[in-house]
């Protein structure tokens, strides 16, 4: 992957700070933060932009049921319910909150073991048009400001199968700011993808299920 591409690393830094990057991908990106001053600055910038949003949150006391669930995970699921607030009393409320946050995060943000990759679609001038975060089950598409919009046409994304068979439509690409999520077909597997292509189609997409307009761009998919 070309980590000299500032638009790509900025998207990765944003995903890292928000918490969307998990598992081995997060571990690899953390090592890049330590070795690249540019990526480190981008992470610091996004932390400054996003972390202060938590200041607006008001503290809420978790329900007793949640504490009982935490206790069951820590010790034995066969234990009967009890007053965990009383059990944590000597430890202190601050420690109890830290423990709760840690366990809830472990539950919600389970490391994503699925294969996760990135693709950057560029024009002839090597300017990024779309940045894609790809897994077997979803494709997040972030359009860039360099896209040339059409009033009567759409950009359509295609999967190029590794076996050389016909391209498979993955959906229409956005032209305006703001990311979208595409849901690939059931047959979409990263191990079976040789690359991606973008064609220019009539408004609403290809009427035949195959590219009908010119294929403008192609790109590889890089391991994150």
Q: Which residues contact 82 (CB under 8 A, 6 or more apart)?
A: 68, 71
What CATH number is attached to the domain comprising 192? Answer: 2.60.40
Give the pLDDT confidence score for residue 202 in this predicted structure. 94
Judge if 146 and 67 occupy the same domain: no
Strand partners, 27: none
Q: Which string of DSSP letters, residue by residue, matches 153-169?
A: EEEEEEEEETT----EE
Which tops the pLDDT comparison, 8 or 78? 8
| pTM of the predicted model as reported, rounded to 2 decimal places | 0.54
On whether the CB atoms of residues 168 and 186 are closer than 8 A, the answer is no
Higher pLDDT, 4 or 134: 134
Q: In this structure, is residue 31 part of a structural domain? A: yes
- pLDDT tier for residue 31 given thresholds of 50, 70 and 90: confident
User: 116 pLDDT exceeds 80?
Assistant: no
Mean pLDDT (whole number) for 30-44 = 83
Q: Are residues 89 and 34 in the same domain?
A: no
The domain total for the chain is: 3
Q: Locate 142 and state its tokens.
A: 């972030």
163: containing domain = 116-223
Same domain, 120 and 208: yes
Q: Are residues 129 and 208 in the same domain?
A: yes
Same domain (yes/no): 121, 209: yes
- Render pLDDT for 120-139 as a digit per residue (tens, 0 to 9): 898 888 888 898 888 888 89
């Amino acid at each position: 992957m070309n980590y000299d591409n500032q638009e790509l690393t900025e998207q990765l830094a944003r995903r890292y700070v928000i918490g969307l990057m998990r598992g081995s991908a997060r571990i690899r990106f953390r090592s890049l933060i330590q070795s690249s001053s540019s990526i480190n600055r981008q992470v610091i910038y996004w932390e400054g932009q996003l972390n202060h949003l938590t200041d607006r949150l008001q503290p809420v006391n978790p329900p007793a049921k949640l504490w009982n669930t935490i206790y069951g995970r820590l010790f034995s699921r066969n234990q009967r319910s009890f007053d965990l607030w009383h059990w944590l009393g000597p430890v202190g409320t601050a420690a109890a909150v830290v423990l709760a946050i840690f366990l809830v995060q472990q539950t919600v943000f389970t490391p994503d073991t699925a294969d996760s990759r990135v693709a950057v679609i560029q024009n002839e001038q090597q300017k990024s048009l779309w940045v894609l975060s790809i897994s077997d089950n979803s494709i997040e598409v972030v359009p860039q400001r360099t896209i040339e919009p059409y009033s009567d046409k759409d950009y359509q994304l295609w999967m190029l199968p590794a076996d050389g068979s016909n391209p498979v439509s993955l959906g229409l690409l956005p032209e305006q700011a703001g990311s979208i999520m595409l849901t690939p077909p059931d047959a979409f597997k990263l191990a079976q993808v040789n690359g991606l292509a973008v064609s220019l189609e009539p408004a609403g997409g290809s009427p035949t299920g195959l590219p009908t307009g010119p294929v403008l761009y192609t790109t590889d998919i890089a391991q994150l």
